[in-house]
Structure 1
Amino acid sequence: MSRRDRTAGEVLVRRLFTEHGAALLAYASRLLGDHNEGAEVVRETLVRASYAADRAELFTIARDLAVERLRARPRAAAVPPAGNLELLRAVEALPREERDVLNALYFQGRNVKEAATSLGVPAEAVKTRSRQALLRLREASS
């Protein structure tokens, strides 16, 4: 690999981290239940993405890496804490539209306008669905 290729790859990784790092870290940390492991997954995701043809696959790469790590854990450690399991069940019980909004806002790190555009709904619908979903999750946790 030439010096020019390495430099271009480093610039790309920095750009991807600037644009998507926070959302990827939140996503990977939630999947793994550990911030440090999440950070390691983000680093590996960005390195792999710098070689990939399609940058839109960042979250898929992160998920696959997280699943690899979870599978490598001893069986007892792979079971999430009870609170996390209850939260995951509560999220799964939400209506699809509300889950999609939470995914866009909290796992993909999009703002309301970006989420609205990606979901094809008005910004007010994103706000309403987000509020409703958070209320349902709060009720489920009490």
Structure 2
Amino acid sequence: MPAARSVDAPSGALPTADEAVIRALYLEHAGPLLGYTLRLTAGDRAWAEDVVQETLLRAWRHPEALDPARGPVRGWLCTVARNLVIDNGRARRARPPETGDAPLLSVADERAEDEFDRALLSWEVAEALGALTPEHRAVLLETYYRGRSVSEAAKVLGIPEGTVKSRTYYALRALRVALEERGLVP
């Protein structure tokens, strides 16, 4: 019967002695060890498979444990697997529980939605401002956008303070009508 090829070995190469030992160990003990670890991990198959893999890796790192004179190999493997499950359980309890990505995704979606809504609203307001006369836009720009007082806006625009007040009043009324036409104000 031809020798089995190693997965990592080039085509036609024979497995090394270490690979042969691990393969034999896996073939003989992996199934029962997986069943045992499934019971220890309360049916968590991924965790159980990780434990089996780590157990076999430790067996490969400690070949002295595989000596039949020391006792049955499966008993040693089960002890290692049990200790790994206990250690992993302690580590899980020592750190905060993992929540997954769902909370982060919902926050990201809400923020993106809020930013999108704000962008649309500012676009609509800009269009409504564009519908105003240049004089009304200039008064609103100075008093609301730049935060100037009536007297400061009057000096910048070169018009009397009373004109700034009346233009501001009529500009806000015109802006409200423009926003109502766009469905932004009830």
TM-score range, shorter chain: 0.3 to 0.5
TM-score (norm 1): 0.46
> TM-score with structure 2 length normalisation?
0.35
- Say which structure, 1 or 2, has more relative contact order (CA 8 Å, 6+ apart): 1
